């Protein structure tokens, strides 16, 4: 299992809702900000991209990268998310 960072630009609010549900389907996840999430999965970046792209429009943007290096942040969405980020990033 690895941590992946997923960033996105989705124009249609209904598609954004679908994307968020898709991100949550990975089980272990953390919203970093409005358009960036971290997820834990055994899938590859390509598999994640293909799955999430099936939920949004072809012109929307999606970027998936495997985490594994140094990380720093400020003002996470609460202590539970700060704890999650410390554990997995």
Contacts of 28 (CB under 8 A, 6+ apart): 39, 40, 41, 84, 88
Distance CA 67, CA 12 (A): 28
- Judged against a pLDDT cut of 80, whether residue 69 lies above it is answered with no
Q: Which of 7, 30, 9, 3 is nearest to 84 (CA)?
A: 30
Q: What is the CATH number of the domain that holds 61?
A: 3.30.70.240
Give me the number of domains the chain comprises: 1
Please state the pTM of the whole predicted model.
0.87
Q: Which DSSP helix (H) or strand (E) runs through 84?
A: helix 79-88
- Judged against a pLDDT cut of 80, whether residue 54 lies above it is answered with yes
Within 10 Å of residue 26's Cβ, how many Cβ atoms?
Answer: 20
- Judged against a pLDDT cut of 80, whether residue 25 lies above it is answered with yes
pLDDT at 74: 82
The pLDDT of 51-55, averaged and rounded, is: 98
Domain containing 28: what range?
A: 2-88
């Amino acid at each position: 299992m690895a941590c992946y960072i997923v960033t996105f630009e989705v124009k249609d609010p209904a598609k954004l809702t679908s994307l968020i549900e898709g991100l949550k389907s990975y089980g272990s996840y953390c919203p970093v900000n409005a358009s960036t999430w971290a997820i834990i999965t055994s899938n590859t970046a390509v598999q994640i991209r293909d799955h999430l792209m099936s939920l949004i429009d072809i012109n929307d943007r999606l970027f998936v990268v495997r985490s594994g290096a140094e990380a720093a942040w400020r003002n996470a969405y609460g202590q539970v998310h700060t704890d999650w980020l410390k554990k997995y990033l």
